[in-house]
Amino acid sequence: MTTLGMRPTKLIYVENDSALRRILGQMLGQSPELDIVGSFGNSDEALDRSLVRKADVALIDFALDQNGLNGVELGIALRNINEYIGIVIYSQYSVSQMVARVPKDMRSGWSFFDKSADMDLDDYLSVIKKTSAGKGNWEEVSAQHGENVVSESAIFFLLTPRQRSIMSLSAQGKNPQDIALSLDLSYSYVRKELSRAYAVLLPDADQSSDLKTTAVLKFMELMRMS
């Protein structure tokens, strides 16, 4: 529903797939709340300065022409022409980490979403209009990633397999001589590897504390977590 007296949002639409540009363009064009001021197939055409200056928001596909700018780069270029323009990036690629590609001081008024045929005109309108008003969704999107990040227990993996085997025997109460004998290594090598393992397990260790006991306890704790 348009509010009486409110002018339609001026939209620039950039999509290199002509079929999708046509069909989505037609759908967006049905809304009286939108005025598509430019519809382009590549980044060069979209960088029309006078048009960009009068636009409120741009809907841009991330993967544009292979040798030109990508969607985020084009968004940044548009922002450099018109600092108030809202930028909406959509893509067949996952958009969750695209926010990181936008300079921090420029992220306000940026939105991202995955391309989907399930979206209705209202869904598009909602994102486009909010973004043109400066309310981008970049914070929600950037909060989505963060899976697979290295946990604290990954310190175990900083030890080499050799150090793990030495620490595991140390945790069984064996002294360096016994460990050297069991693993067919020299005594001095075992001592060196134990020191290196302690340094990995206890990077901030107080030299006055009982390094061996603390390191063995830490190693056993990590073994349980692994």
Closer residue to other proteins, CB minimum distance, 4 or 19: 19
Q: How far apart are CA 137 and CA 130, in angstroms?
A: 9
Closer residue to other proteins, CB minimum distance, 82 or 137: 137
Q: How far apart are CA 71 and CA 59, in angstroms?
A: 9
Smallest gap, in angstroms, from Cβ of residue 18 to other proteins? 10
Closer residue to other proteins, CB minimum distance, 94 or 209: 94
Closer residue to other proteins, CB minimum distance, 55 or 78: 78
Smallest gap, in angstroms, from Cβ of residue 69 to other proteins? 10
Smallest gap, in angstroms, from Cβ of residue 173 to other proteins? 18
Smallest gap, in angstroms, from Cβ of residue 5 to other proteins? 31
Q: Mutual orientation of helices 161-171 and 187-201 as an angle, nearest 10°?
A: 90
Residues that bind other proteins (CB under 8 A): 17, 19-20, 23-24, 27, 62-63, 66, 70, 72, 91-94, 96-98, 100-101, 114-118, 145, 147-151, 154, 156-158, 160-162, 164-165, 168, 226
- The sign of the torsion formed by the CA atoms of 103, 105, 106, 108 equals positive
Residues contacting residue 94 through CB under 8 Å, at least 6 positions apart: 114
Smallest gap, in angstroms, from Cβ of residue 65 to other proteins? 10
Smallest gap, in angstroms, from Cβ of residue 7 to other proteins? 28
Question: Which pair of tokens denotes residue 38?
Answer: 């430019």
Smallest gap, in angstroms, from Cβ of residue 2 to other proteins? 23
CA distance readout (Å), 29 to 58, 87, 125: 14, 18, 11
Residues contacting residue 82 through CB under 8 Å, at least 6 positions apart: 52, 53, 55
Question: Which pair of tokens denotes residue 157?
Answer: 């993996």
Q: How far apart are CA 79 and CA 106, in angstroms?
A: 8
Closer residue to other proteins, CB minimum distance, 51 or 216: 216
Closer residue to other proteins, CB minimum distance, 62 or 138: 62
Closer residue to other proteins, CB minimum distance, 155 or 217: 155
DSSP reduced 3-state for 48: coil
Residues contacting residue 164 through CB under 8 Å, at least 6 positions apart: 156
